[in-house]
Amino acid sequence: MATFVMVNGIPGNMGRLVAETCVARGLELVPFSLTGEMIVENEAEVAGRKIILLKPSNREALIGDILKKYSGLICIDYTHPTAVNDNATFYVNHKIPFVMGTTGGDREALIKLVAEANHPSVIAPNMSKQIVAFQTMIEYLATEFPTAFDGYQLSVVESHQKTKADTSGTARAVVQSFQKMGLDFDDSRIEMVRDEKNQLERMHVPAPYLGGHAFHTYSLDSADGTVHFEFQHNICGRSVYAEGSVDAVNFLAEQIAKGNGKQFNMMDVLRSGKMR
């Protein structure tokens, strides 16, 4: 039985790509998408299909009929950081399982909301299998060898397309692991690079990917400056996140079918072996 998916964030670039990936991977794309009130369009064409755009002003009136027609649908959220918590409340209130790919928002409130409702979801700052594996590695280091970088100084720089409004959620998550090692570093000190000149000349982002990339560098230096460690992960394009989002939907659908619906993250998806 096919899984119905509503991709929210169309007509944005990420929303479009995720919707196209869902179709390519055999999921049933629901012809509706939550979007922002400021979006002028009322519909969009994605993967050869007409998608009706639902705005905060009309979504409550329409969602009941949508849920009746597409029973068991799962939402994938790639909207805007300012919409994260409001959208999550909408999903919980209407008992819609969801995959949250949008970063930003009040993450503590998001996790608390979903946990208290025991709501089936996959929430993660990054949907890439390889980045999730990297995050798991750093978290393991923090847990098993918490004093490995005693006395070191951390610096973090991340570069994304200039339209990304918030600091990288992946960078914030990795910083949390380094903080567990005792490194004195607040995520407000993460350096965001959003101007294209610096992206080209300093970060060495290939010109074709200025509109969609994620370059991160985590540097660790000993107190006397004689030892330097550097962890780096650079992604050009967005396809890796779209593929991971579909993996998350398939994982969540399987968990719900087993009666295990609750809050998961991408590490759970990776451990399950469900990521392509």
Three-state SS for 21? helix
pLDDT at 165: 84
> Which DSSP string corresponds to 200-240?
HHTS---GGGTTSEEEEEEEEE-TTS--EEEEEEEEESSHH
DSSP-assigned beta bridge partners for residue 75: 6, 98
Fold of the domain built from segment(s) 4-123+239-272? Rossmann fold (3.40.50)
CATH 3.30.360.10 domain extents, the chain: 129-236
- Read off the pTM: 0.87
CATH 3.40.50.720 domain extents, the chain: 4-123+239-272
pLDDT at 43: 96
Say which residue the tokens 């009666």 belong to. Answer: 259
Do residues 126 and 266 touch, judged by C-beta distance below 8 A?
yes
Just list the catalytic residues: 160, 164
The class (CATH top level) of 129-236 is alpha beta
- How far, rounded to the nearest angstrom, does the alpha carbon of residue 183 sit from its chain's CA centroid? 25
Q: What is the pLDDT along the chain (276 residues), one digit of tens a residue?
A: 689 999 999 999 999 999 999 999 999 999 999 999 999 999 999 999 999 999 999 999 999 999 999 999 999 999 999 999 999 999 999 999 999 999 889 999 999 999 999 999 999 989 998 999 999 999 999 999 999 999 999 999 999 999 998 899 999 999 999 999 999 999 999 999 999 999 999 999 999 999 999 999 999 999 999 999 999 999 999 999 999 999 999 999 999 999 988 999 999 999 998 777
